[in-house]
Structure 1
Amino acid sequence: MEEQRAILEQLKQTLQMLTVESSKNDGSANEQNEKKNIEDSECILEREYEDIAQEFIDFIYNNPTTYHVVSFFGKLLDKNGFQYLSEKSDWSDSIGEKGGKFYTTRNGTNLSAFILGKNWKAEKGVGVIGSHVDALTVKLKPVSFKDPSEGYGRIAVAPYGGTLNELWLDRDLGIGGRVLYKKKGSNVIKSTLIDSTPYPICKIPSLAPHFGKPAEGPFDKEDQTVPVIGFPTSHGKDKEIPTDDEKKSPLYGKHCLHLLRYIAKLAGVKVSELIQTDLDLFDVQKGTIGGIRKHFIFAPRLDDRLCSFAAMIALISYAKNVNTDDSDLFSTVTLYDNEEIGSLTRQGAKGGLLESVVQRSSSAFSKEPVDLHTVWANSIILSADVNHLLNPNFSEVYLKNHSPVPNVGITLSLDPNGHMATDVVGTALVEELARRNGDKVQYFQIKNNSRSGGTIGPSLASQTGARTIDLGIAQLSMHSIRATTGSMDVALGVKFFDGFFRNWRSVYDEFGEF
């Protein structure tokens, strides 16, 4: 990402040089050459945005569950010089008085990465980007076995958030998530991640419209949106005859034996070694760049792998240019689970990982007690969550002048009734950050006769007392199984977040006692 940003900057400088040089000469030929150079440079810039968009599409495809996303980011942080800190260990020796680059995780679905400069003190506060990595999905029930219905094999699932609706019908659904196992002869329970991509194991079939009203919905989520996994026969390879060893698994009898064998195969263990699972069903179709001029990304699980990806890439990009021995800043990206179901879990925004990281790292870093009230009073939190692009087919439901469009820039989320944490100072601060970084800012606010969604922003603001600003990358079709964002918007998000880490402290200082 840093190399791509360097290319973008170099192209801009080259374009400026060409403009200056051509202004020294006369003649239409020079004017034509200048125009061609500008057009060529713009085409190259478009290709760079497209490359970053494709990186994001690959990331979404290769990491279909929250466990996979957090694991991916952990490996990326390792590769880029961040040191892992276990929540169960003391951090004093690792952080010491020099600070550094670190990260920690909770439950495999909640992550906080941070950069702590050697010269940091409480009055410098913390620059935070918080986002959520969970996405709407379908969960395998603890006991997913269902008696065959008219010969069809089915599995029992539960909606996570607003799923198992008509948007989930007739999609190719894979399975993946966390598997706990214990190898034979061992007393240690281990964990591994599985993912059936690109293979779909099931589908929720719709009812053909020929059947009239029963096909119209809404559908009963317990009985009418049940995934079908097969049509087993009573002979040959379809016969479910468990071995004595397989019967020893705690999961035996709770799930279809064919499913257990498939899960065990993906995990690289035996059925008898399976202890427990936390598995999702998800759309296996890969995202793509689309639109007649490649203006869009069409992909699953944008909410909110989109802002979390941009924020984490920005932190890593920023970290490459930070010498912690000379820095007086404390910067972090904290990614949460369970936002889609209220955040009230240990790995959700109300579980306090951000507050724990700041308290523990500042205590390990400083010889003297650190006043956390002072820290938070001097801090800024960006609550980065996707918001709504203008849908041209339903423009009447959007508030005029508060309807973002694709490929322009970050969008501020505003709500006078407190569903968003953004206030007037936060709005002014983001606009100044954008001005310094050469970015554009859009607004989103609902009409008075509409209902606002929620974010982690109000939770983080009320738990810390830090000024919190809700903003994000806008998308179409939020909470659909597949959604849309601008093909330039991933790169624009990375650029804005990188600029936030570089400039937030100096910008906030301009606001004095606000």
Structure 2
Amino acid sequence: MNIQKTAADLLDFISQSTSSFHTVTASETILKKAGFSELLPTKEWHLEKKHAYYTKIYDSSIIAFTINDKPLHNLRIAAAHTDFPCLRIKPAATIEKNKYISLNIEIYGGMILNTWLDRPLSIAGKVVLKSNNVFSPKVNLVDFRKPLLTIPNLAIHMNRKINEGISLNPQKDMLPLFSMTDSSKETNDLIIELLATETACSPEDILSYELTVYPAETGCLLGYNEEFISSHRLDNITSVKACLDGLLTGSRKQGINIIALFDNEEVGSRTKQGAGSFILPHIIERIYDSLGFSHADYLTAIAGGFLLSADVAHALHPNVPEKTDPTNLPLLNHGTAIKIAASQSYANDAEAIGIIKSLCQKHDINYQLFVNRADTKGGSTLGSILSANMPMRSLDIGIPILAMHSARETMGINDQVSITKLIKHFFSE
């Protein structure tokens, strides 16, 4: 697998994935090109062996699968999430004060607030418009793909203690600057005007929106030997891309392979399109039912299945190494991290760890272990949530990164190859 091409493809995919909706759209484009057929959740399914399918869940989650010979042979699932920490624009967002026009926002997920200051920011998301059927409004996706906003820092002359640390109030300090008042005309809701122009509709036709503010800069390679990738949304678009590539290159001739890319992980997953819902077990049951298998067959497949939950891990920080566990030291460019937690905030058991270690060793895939320090509470991800609703052997894995939840994160260029190879062989054995 070519390292440079893998990195370039990842950066291109990240550039397209400016909201959960756009991550799903970019994923759908890849799947369609590979010959996958779309299934509508609201229609009856008629599935066939040796075919590949996908279905979208409320536009921000997507589940894709391939049906091989002997579908009951075994079930393999890889999961990741499509969302990322960001700012979301509130309704009636325009705030006018002292001739400045700012936007009213709320924080989505556990973002590092000060990393978003003084950056060029853009807007992407979904706009809902009136139609002739009130229960079926028209939906447009928008992505302005140019700098529209910034959140200005306060100059050091006005806060001499700024380098000693500062607490930012999201409702006061994180409002993006959008425009200036034009005294010659009345100021309307500028976001609505912007969206009306972009969607070629009347402002009165806009019913609602879900809009993400995202950094407008592009990702890049960096380092003396270009051994690092610096980009927004490495958490968790790296895993989304690896799941897609692994599914498309997996070569199993038997069983069913599934990838599940969920929204709302950063806010707890407990939504209709999140991993905390029953959407995945319901879809798997529909697959087996459409193929003519019984409910007992479905339960047997779940019990014998294996789930890989792919999300990023914390790498050893070069300036603050004491924050890392003393014996488990994940490094950039040293392979996929197997994530372990006694609390089960990461899904794991000894057999699952052993299986994935053996798979890596068999195919010369670099891997390492990640465990939080005993005095540090780590995050959580999809694995334990999914396996609680769908009891099967499960393991959390992910690429080690620096500055997780910053506006810009850093990873090793080799590690995307490692996780992609792992998921490929997971879908091949």
TM-score higher than 0.5: yes
Q: SS of the counterpart of 1:259? A: helix
Matches within 5 A, 1:77-156: 77-91=31-45, 93=46, 95-96=47-48, 98=49, 100-121=51-72, 124-146=73-95, 148-156=96-104
Other structure's SS at 1:333 match? strand
Which residue does the alignment assign to 1:212?
Answer: 159
Instruction: Report the 3-state secondary structure (helix = DSSP H, G, I; strand = E; otherwise coil) of the residue aligned with 1:72.
Output: helix
SS in structure 1 of the partner of residue 331 of structure 2: coil
Partner of 1:394: 320
Cα distance in 2, alignment partners of residues 125 and 109 from structure 1: 28
The residue identity in structure 2 corresponding to 1:68 is H
TM-score, with length taken from structure 1: 0.80
CA contact (8 A) 2:121 2:216 kept: yes
Matches within 5 A, 1:497-508: 497-503=423-429
2: CA distance between counterparts of 1:240 and 1:352?
Answer: 48
Task: Please give the residue correspondences for 1:288-299 in structure 2 after superposition, counting only pairs within 5 Å.
Answer: 288-299=220-231
Alignment of 1:172-191 (within 5 A): 172-182=120-130, 189-191=137-139
Distance 2:118 2:392 in 1: 45
Contact 1:63 1:69 (C-alpha < 8 Å) held by counterparts: yes
- Counterpart CA distance in 1 for 2:367 and 2:425 is 13
Q: Deviations over 1:210-256 (max 9, x none)?
A: 11267552021112221111112302xxx247xxxxxxxxxxxxxx4
Equivalence for 1:287? 219
Q: Contact 1:240–1:258 at 8 Å: present in 2 too?
A: no
Q: SS at 1:331's partner residue?
A: strand
> Alpha carbons of 1:268 and 1:486: their partners in 2 closer, same or farther (altered >3 Å)?
farther
* Separation of aligned partners in 2, 1:390 and 1:231: 44
- Structure 1 contact 136–160 (Cα < 8 Å) conserved: yes
Structure 2 residue matching 1:425: 3-state secondary structure: helix
Tell me the equivalent position of 2:421: 495
2:200 matched to which residue of 1?
268
Shift of 1:328: 2.3
1:339-361 deviation digits (Å, cap 9, x = unpaired): 11111001110112221121000
CA–CA distance in 1 between the matches of 2:212 and 2:127? 11
Counterparts of 2:398 and 2:111, CA distance in 1 = 23
1:89 Cα deviation after fit: 0.7
Deviation digits for residues 406-447 of structure 1 (CA, Å, limit 9, x no counterpart):
222111001112211111111100111101221121001111
Aligned to 2:358: 432
Matches within 5 A, 1:159-174: 159-163=107-111, 165-174=113-122
Q: 1:186 to 1:342 in 2, by over 3 A?
A: closer
In structure 2, what is the equivalent of residue 314 of structure 1? 246
- Equivalent residue for 1:345, pick from 240, 246, 271: 271
Structure 1 runs not aligned, ≥5 long = 6-47, 242-255, 504-514
CA deviation profile, 1:372-427 (whole Å, cap 9, x unmatched) = 33111110000111001111101111112311112221110011122111111111
SS at match of 1:77: helix
Count of residue pairs the alignment pairs up: 426
Matches of 1:106 and 1:85, distance apart in 2: 10
Give 1:167 shift. Answer: 1.5
Alignment deviations for residues 191-212 of structure 1 (CA, whole Å, 9 cap, x no partner)? 1111111x21111111011112
Q: Within 5 A, what are the aligned runs for 1:294-443?
A: 294-318=226-250, 321=251, 327-443=253-369
* Cα deviation code 1:131-175 (max 9, x no counterpart): 1111001000122132x2111101100000123721211111101
- SS of 2:395's equivalent? strand
**With structure 2 as the length reference, what TM-score do the two structures score?**
0.95
Residue type of the alignment partner of 1:219:
L
1:383 counterpart SS class? strand
* 1:321-352 deviation per Cα after TM superposition (whole angstroms, max 9, x unaligned): 56xxxx32111110111111111001110112
CA separation of 1:63 and 1:316: change in aligned 2, threshold 3 A: same
**Aligned AA for 2:153?**
S
CA contact (8 A) 1:152 1:228 kept: yes
2:428 is paired with a residue of what secondary structure? helix
* Mapping of residues 209-288 of structure 1, within 5 Å: 209-212=156-159, 215=162, 216-235=165-184, 239-240=185-186, 256-288=188-220
Counterpart contact for 1:401–1:443, Cα < 8 Å = no
- Write the distance in 1 (CA, Å) between the matches of 2:293 and 2:379: 43
Q: Is residue 195–residue 266 contact of structure 1 (8 Å, CA) maintained in 2? A: no
Q: Which has the higher helix share?
A: 1
Residue matched to 1:70:
24
Residue in 2 that maps onto 1:248: none
The alignment partner of 2:97 has SS state of coil
2:105 pairs, out of 157, 170, 188, with 157
Whether the aligned pair in 1 keeps the contact of 2:94 and 2:190 (CA below 8 Å) is no
Q: What secondary structure does 1:115 align onto? A: strand
**How far 1:259 moved relative to its partner?**
2.4
Question: Counterpart of 1:140 in structure 2: which amino acid?
Answer: I
* CA distance in structure 2 between the partners assigned to 1:441 and 1:164 by the alignment: 28
3-state SS in 2 of match to 1:58? helix
Q: Is the 8 A contact 1:126 1:378 kept in 2?
A: yes
- CA distance, structure 2, for counterparts of residue 354 and residue 378 of structure 1: 16
Identify the structure with the greater strand proportion.
Answer: 2
Distance 1:425 1:220, change over 3 A: same
Checking the alignment, whether the CA contact within 8 Å between 2:399 and 2:419 is kept in structure 1 is: yes
